[in-house]
Structure 1
């Protein structure tokens, strides 16, 4: 008998992606339940060849749920994740609410799968920020090879990172540009159509945004607290996939060929790096794919033992839904949970 899985926030971008990936990967679920807010109750979502009607979170009994994939935002997670965990489900949360809680593991399975076992403290496992997830998948094998000292990263983040509203705003504004209509700006701080915005999340006292802080703090928690990292996070007029330009300074020497070799052998990474027209991956090509793609690996001559590279990943998949489901698969593969139906 398989597991019973709940997807909370099932009508949102990431929730729908979770349902799609559960079906794609043939996750061992006997039943999958779509759950959303009261206003989205009854909305239909697809799960493989099935259609599920969303149930209201406020009225749902989680006592027979084994795994809850939570993608309903930080405020909802703060209130509901502990309640759901108290009923015996393991909550895998996609919001920022629990990421820096010392009693909640923050996990990217290709990087720190062993940390998953720490879920027993609160019954919650945190998914990292989308821009962090793809970055640490790339940094991990390089860190193991030559020990990373410092990282400078500039992100080019798609509007889907801001949810359906962000995608809709880019769509409306683009149409308005071509039709000479009025451009309305609601979701973003400035127009996003044919523009880039160096501002994601709120500003902090030191001038960095919270998105940039997340990349720093989460990379240290997931990978190594000794790594120094600075980030500039930018929203770009792309619907799906985040891109990152990354400069890495190592303690030990590492050549481009050595970097290629370790990255080609790393889980979750695909190297597409030809020094010719089109010999790299763009966000468009990464959309719908599971891998984090690495291109344009080259020596950084401005520091000792430095490399520069470009990485791209579908933020709705590896940056959110796929990573959560990989965590759930790891729980099962490591025999850290058993289905409640089996225990009954």
Structure 2
């Protein structure tokens, strides 16, 4: 006997990827329902070799369903996730709404799987921010060995992190550079994204950081260790899929780069591709469609006593969102629901 699984926001980029990954990983689902808002009602989406017709999120009855993967944004999550949870369906939410709630576990299964036990307080589990998810997968095994004091990270985040509208805007602006009359002004982003970089993701906060940067700080502390100091600069780049990060780590104890490389090679969810030669590293275009978080450019940082630098790349629609949510569902199955 398998699970009955709901995917809410099934017509968006992350929702479609959730359905793809459920099928790819052969998640033991007896039944899968695809939900969408009324404006997308009746849209067909793929689930493995099947085609699902979206149902109305507003009127859907969650009673009798086991797990709901939410990729519908904070507004729908605020309205419908508690209804699903109250009906006995465990919600795994991809929005930022519940991440900082002390009664909602924020989980990356390779990093803090034991936090799953806290799901019962609200029947809701939070999926982390895409940029945080890939970073903490790399940080945790190193932290276990040498204890991290401080992290300085600069992100290079693809437009798919802003959803289908972000990808469309990059495509349309790129075409407009070459086709007269098809120029497109910024709409989704604050400035032109084609052939450009934008050092702003989400809104600005009082201290001058953006909310995306604040998320990385708060979520790393909640997932890995509250004592870790984190500072981030998050940049939107003209890449369709795949987030990249340049990470500088300062440890309490010395950690040799060769030992760090060995630790990361053995860590779950990580692939090390680190050759000191032309092209001996992974770029975002190469990580698309892969489950792994890729680590390259591992080297000592001579500017601090115990420092390392590394380059981290991952498919943000997968590990940064859909894959992590499905991995949480798999963790629920192994530790809590135990069906299938």
Deviation at 1:319, TM superposition (A): 0.2
Separation of aligned partners in 2, 1:73 and 1:58: 14
Post-superposition Cα deviations, 1:231-280, rounded to whole Å, max 9, x if no partner, equal 00000000000000000000000011010010000000000000101100
Provide the secondary structure at the position in 2 that maps to 1:179.
coil
Residue aligned with 1:262, SS: helix
Cα deviation, 1:189-241, whole Å, max 9, x if unaligned, reads 00000000000000000000000000000000000000000000000000000
SS for the counterpart of 2:175 is helix
Match of 1:112 in 2: 112
- What residue number does 2:252 align with? 251
1:337 Cα deviation (Å)?
A: 1.7
Trace 1:163-182 onto structure 2 (pairs within 5 A). 163-181=163-181, 182=183
Confirm whether residue 14 of structure 1 aligns to residue 14 of structure 2: yes
Aligned to 1:111, what secondary structure does the other structure show?
coil
- Provide the rounded CA distance (Å) in 2 between the counterparts of 1:109 and 1:338: 17
Aligned partner of 1:48 in structure 2 is: 48
1:52-201 pair list within 5 angstroms:
52-181=52-181, 182-201=183-202
CA distance in 1, matches of 2:137, 2:199: 24
User: What residue in structure 2 maps to residue 321 of structure 1?
Assistant: 322
Count the aligned residue pairs. 339
Aligned to 2:219: 218
CA distance in structure 1 between the partners assigned to 2:270 and 2:290 by the alignment:
11
When the two chains are superposed, the root-mean-square deviation of aligned CA atoms in Å is 0.9
Deviations 1:288-312 (A, max 9, x none): 1000000001111100010001000
- Give the TM-score normalised by the residue count of structure 1: 0.98
Structure 1 partner of 2:294: 293
What is the alpha-carbon distance in structure 2 between the residues aligned to residue 108 and residue 157 of structure 1?
19
What is the rounded CA distance, in whole Å, between the counterparts of 2:280 and 2:138 in structure 1? 19
Q: Deviations over 1:16-37 (max 9, x none)?
A: 0000000000000000000000
- Give 1:184 shift: 1.7
- Relative to the length of structure 2, the TM-score reads 0.99
- What is the rounded CA distance, in whole Å, between the counterparts of 2:101 and 2:205 in structure 1? 20
Q: Could you tell me which runs of 5 or more consecutive residues in structure 2 were left unpaired when the two chains were aligned.
A: none
The answer for unaligned runs of 5 or more in structure 1 is none
**Residue in 1 that maps onto 2:270:** 269
Instruction: Render the CA deviation track for 1:121-167: whole Å, top value 9, x for unaligned.
Output: 00000000000000000000010111000000000000000000000
Show CA shifts across 1:298-333 (max 9, x none).
111100010001000000000000000000000111
> CA separation in 2, counterparts of 1:165 and 1:233?
19
Is 1:206 matched up with 2:207?
yes
Q: CA separation in 2, counterparts of 1:80 and 1:102?
A: 20
Find the counterpart in structure 2 of residue 227 from structure 1: 228
Deviations 1:85-113 (A, max 9, x none): 00000000000000000000000000000
Match of 2:239 in 1: 238
Rate the CA distance shift 1:184–1:84 in 2: closer, same or farther, 3 A: same
List structure 1 runs of 4+ shifted beyond 4 angstroms: none
Q: Which residue of 1 aligns with 2:280?
A: 279
In structure 1, distance between residues paired with 2:233 and 2:270: 23
Residue 180 of structure 1, CA deviation: 3.8
SS across alignment from 2:337:
coil
Could you tell me how far 1:338 is from its partner in structure 2? Answer: 5.0
Give 3-state SS (helix, strand or coil) of 1:109's partner: coil
Q: Give SS of 2:280's match.
A: coil
